């Protein structure tokens, strides 16, 4: 996703910039008034703690605001963070498909060959990598459907019927194992 959206104001920033600083209230004073640990106020301010309905109610009473103001502020920021995470995941997937075209639709012979090289690398260096099985499945699907493998696949199927050999699906085209 190329859309860049500005981060909405987090609860902590709003609390500090629009309430604590102008009213000359320290974080400790706020914690005392809310009867919560100072650590909780620090976490709300640094964004590591999502504001709860109870905390929103306390802030609303202290600053003569609605609890919905604080909850909506939190919800807006949560939606923005989720949107950024999804956007990042989609960008990462797009980059992965560019790096390993075999993961996209309609792979080419070149993409297949690049995937074989990557699979061989993973076998040697990181066989437990989460992409290994995905790439092997894509390689197998390509080999099962690619015209250049039709004759080989037909021979394997015939040998399977005769019961003499079975193919190793993770290394199709390069390995026959005697039953």
Q: What is the pLDDT of residue 77?
A: 93
Q: Is the dihedral of CA 76, 80, 81, 85 positive or negative?
A: positive
The position carrying tokens 């039953």 is: 179
Q: Count, in order, helices (H) and strands (E) of the chain.
A: 8, 2
The position carrying tokens 């699907």 is: 141
Q: Is the dihedral of CA 70, 76, 77, 82 positive or negative?
A: positive
33: helix, coil or strand? Answer: helix
**107 vs 139: CA distance, rounded Å:** 9
Task: Write out the DSSP string of 117-142.
Answer: HHHHHHHHH-TT-HHHHHHHHHHHHH
Report how far Cα 68 is from the mean position of its chain's Cα atoms.
31
**42 vs 44: CA distance, rounded Å:** 5
Query: Which domains are delineated in the chain?
Result: 11-93 (1.10.260.40), 100-178 (no CATH)
The position carrying tokens 């989720």 is: 82
141 is written with which tokens?
């699907």
Per-residue pLDDT of the chain (179 residues; tens, 9 = 90+): 444 578 999 999 999 999 999 999 999 999 999 999 999 999 999 999 999 999 999 999 999 999 999 999 999 999 998 888 888 777 777 777 776 776 776 677 788 788 888 888 888 888 888 878 888 888 888 888 877 777 777 777 777 777 755 555 554 444 444 44
């Amino acid at each position: 996703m190329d859309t860049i959206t500005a981060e909405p104001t987090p609860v902590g920033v709003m609390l500090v910039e629009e309430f604590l600083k102008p009213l000359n209230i320290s974080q400790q004073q706020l914690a005392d008034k809310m009867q919560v640990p100072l650590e909780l106020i620090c976490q709300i301010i640094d964004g590591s703690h999502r504001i709860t309905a109870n905390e929103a109610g306390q802030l609303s009473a202290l600053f003569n605001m609605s609890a919905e103001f604080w909850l909506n502020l939190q919800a807006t920021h949560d939606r923005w963070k989720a949107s950024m995470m999804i956007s990042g995941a989609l960008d990462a997937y797009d980059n992965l498909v560019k790096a390993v075209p075999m993961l996209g639709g309609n792979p080419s012979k070149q993409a297949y060959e690049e995937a074989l090289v990557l699979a061989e690398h993973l076998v040697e260096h990181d066989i437990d990598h989460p992409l290994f099985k995905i790439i092997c499945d894509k390689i197998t699907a390509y080999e099962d459907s690619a015209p250049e493998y039709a004759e080989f696949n037909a021979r394997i199927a015939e040998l399977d019927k005769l019961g003499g050999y079975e193919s190793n699906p993770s290394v199709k085209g390069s390995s026959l194992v005697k039953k």
